[in-house]
A and B are shown apart, each in its own frame.
Chain A
Amino acid sequence: MERELVEALFARYREPVYRFLCRLIGDAAAAEDLTQEVFLRALGAAYAAGEHERAWVFQVARNLARDHARRMAHRGPVSEPPDGASPFTDRAVALAVHAAIGRLADQDREVFLMREVAGLTYDEIALACDVTVDAVRNRLHRARLALRQALAPAVVPLNRARP
């Protein structure tokens, strides 16, 4: 792919890719590097940007994140949300959410973050993760239930107590 096309992809998707990678690997500095790497990979790729370009970009991001996770397997989990707290949520809740997401199964976590952080559609997630749309729907449901259960003590009282 030509540099100009990749620059355009970078401008369109750098933010959701970075946010997704931050949450997925839990390391802001590594997420910066991997975000650049996602688009530099596109330079050498035979892929021509089309209607599924966002799915393709996130597939590359997911694969790079998996490689990174394998390299960093010896390190412990990151305890802080890497890209700052949400403006809608208390810090304690943000920490609890971050930890609970880290405990999801890898594929459920990827699907959940592609949907909730990056805003991909079911079809795009299915393409990026090489699964069916039904599998995406089921994994999202399963991840939400697991997170809701894990966060019940933290999320519900803290948020409902807010003025």
Chain B
Amino acid sequence: MTEIHTALLSAFCDGQIVDPDQLADALADPRARDALVDFARLRAAVTSSHPLPASLTRLRPVPVRRPQLWAAMAGAAAMLVLIALTFALLPRTWTNRDGADGPPSPTRVMRYVPGVDWQPVAGSQ
């Protein structure tokens, strides 16, 4: 028996059209006949007569999806992030304003002495 014989018998098992003369040649060999019977045994071994489970008596409904709920949850999450960012950034802004927006310290002081650095003019105060 060759693999050509078993390939022919395998195809024959599946209802394929095979060369009758080659089939006769193959079946003339007792080992090929045994192979054919074993192929039939394999088919019988995977056949099940068990009833279908009750869950497969009907197609179940499509699971309900709730896009509104997801949108609401996404919106709430975005709001939380926004609030958290606001609280995180606000104190830093106040701190910076205290330091950066105050007047600079004087680097020198100029003093004007009346009568020396300027002369009072008549009629002025």
- Interface residues, chain A, with chain B CB atoms under 8 Å away: 6-7, 10, 14-15, 18-19, 22-23, 28, 32, 35-36, 39-40, 43, 81, 83-89, 93-94, 97, 101, 113, 115-117, 122, 137-138, 140-141, 144-145, 147-148, 151, 155-156, 159
Is B93 located at the chain interface by the 8 A CB criterion? Answer: no
Is B21 located at the chain interface by the 8 A CB criterion? Answer: no
Given contacts A97-B42, A148-B42, A156-B38, A40 and B47 within 8 Å (CB-CB)? no
Chain B residues with CB under 8 Å of A156's CB are 34, 38
Chain B residues with CB under 8 Å of A148's CB are 35, 38-39, 42
Given contacts A43-B62, A122-B14, A137-B16, A113 and B46 within 8 Å (CB-CB)? yes
Q: How far is the CA of A87 from the CA of B48 in the complex (A)?
A: 7
* Residues of A contacting B: mostly: helix
A-B contact pairs, 26 of them (CB 8 A): A10-B58, A18-B56, A22-B48, A39-B59, A40-B59, A83-B48, A83-B50, A87-B47, A89-B45, A115-B14, A116-B42, A116-B46, A117-B47, A122-B14, A137-B16, A141-B10, A144-B6, A144-B13, A144-B39, A145-B3, A148-B38, A148-B39, A151-B42, A155-B42, A155-B45, A156-B34
Known: A15-B56, A84-B49. 8 other contacts (CB 8 A): A22-B48, A36-B56, A86-B44, A89-B41, A137-B11, A144-B39, A148-B42, A151-B42
Which of B34, B50, B55, B60 is the one whose CB lies under 8 Å from A84? B50
- Interface residues, chain B, with chain A CB atoms under 8 Å away: 3, 6-7, 10-11, 13-14, 16, 34-35, 38-39, 41-50, 52-53, 55-56, 58-60, 62
